[in-house]
Amino acid sequence: GDLHPGNVLVKTVQVPVTPSLWQSLFSLAPSSDSSTTESEQSDETTTKHSIVFLDAGIAISLSPNDQKNLIDLFRAVIFNDGNRAGRLMVERAKHERCSQVEGCVDAFSEGIADIVSDFHDRRKEGLTLGAVRIGVLLSRVLDLCRIHGVEIDPAMASVVISTLVLEGLGRSLSPDLDLLHFAKPFVLGRGKV
Rounded Cα distance, 148 and 117, in Å: 20
Query: How much is the pLDDT for 125?
Result: 67
Q: Do the beta carbons of residue 105 and residue 90 sit within 8 Å?
A: yes
Query: How much is the pLDDT for 110?
Result: 97
106 is catalytic: no
Query: How much is the pLDDT for 23?
Result: 56
The conformational region for residue 126 under phi > 0 = left, psi -120 to 50 = alpha, else beta, is left
What pairs with residue 51 in β-bridges? 10
Among 2, 43, 106, 143, which one carries the catalytic annotation?
2
Query: Does residue 83 register a pLDDT over 90?
Result: yes
Measure Cα distances from 97 to 90, 110, 113, 115, 149 in Å.
9, 17, 20, 21, 5
Q: What is the per-residue pLDDT across 22-36, written as a single tens digit (0 to 9) for each?
A: 555 555 544 444 444
Task: Determine the 3-state secondary structure of 61 from DSSP.
Answer: coil
Q: What is the per-residue pLDDT across 33-79, written as a single tens digit (0 to 9) for each?
A: 444 444 445 578 888 877 766 665 556 677 888 888 888 888 898 88
Lowest mean pLDDT among 58-67, 119-128, 182-191: 182-191
pTM comes to 0.61
